[in-house]
Structure 1
């Protein structure tokens, strides 16, 4: 009997959140991106991005910092250690699923 296929993290698996986490994972550990820049890269509305960031923040995957740049409020977003680890585990699970699929096709 073979092992069951790996589980995919439901917090990351939603398409929009996967795009957010994958984008943030390209930043060096400890680096941050401004909310408007992330919104521009992902081409998401502010409301949609906010909802997904809240879900990721609630899971402990992203760090949100509210600050000011001069007199202008700024929101900075970073992938936290837990989020980085969750994304690594997620990508490993996807690779394992693809490997299972490849193995079945070769039979």
Structure 2
């Protein structure tokens, strides 16, 4: 194998590894208009809610003025979901960068 070919193969293998290891998530452009954080429900309640949906939580964080959840569904699919921090209403869910759920009437 030529020296340049090895570089291309190594680069392709590294890129493939990154693509498999990191699921493609949506951008963080979701706006919840949640108001002051003193009115937000605790993240622990959101974790319980997501668990009740059968999700395996990978990461829960504040993104802008929303709660953002990275999880795996019962079928093992990686998802990214945004919740309103005051109501804990599920607003939008993405899988592999594609929207798979949007709450009725929600627009960002």
TM-score of the pair, normalised by structure 1: 0.24
User: Higher helix fraction: Structure 1 or Structure 2?
Assistant: 1
User: Higher strand fraction: Structure 1 or Structure 2?
Assistant: 2
Q: Which has the higher contact order (CA 8 A, sep 6+)?
A: 1
Structure number with greater Rg is 2
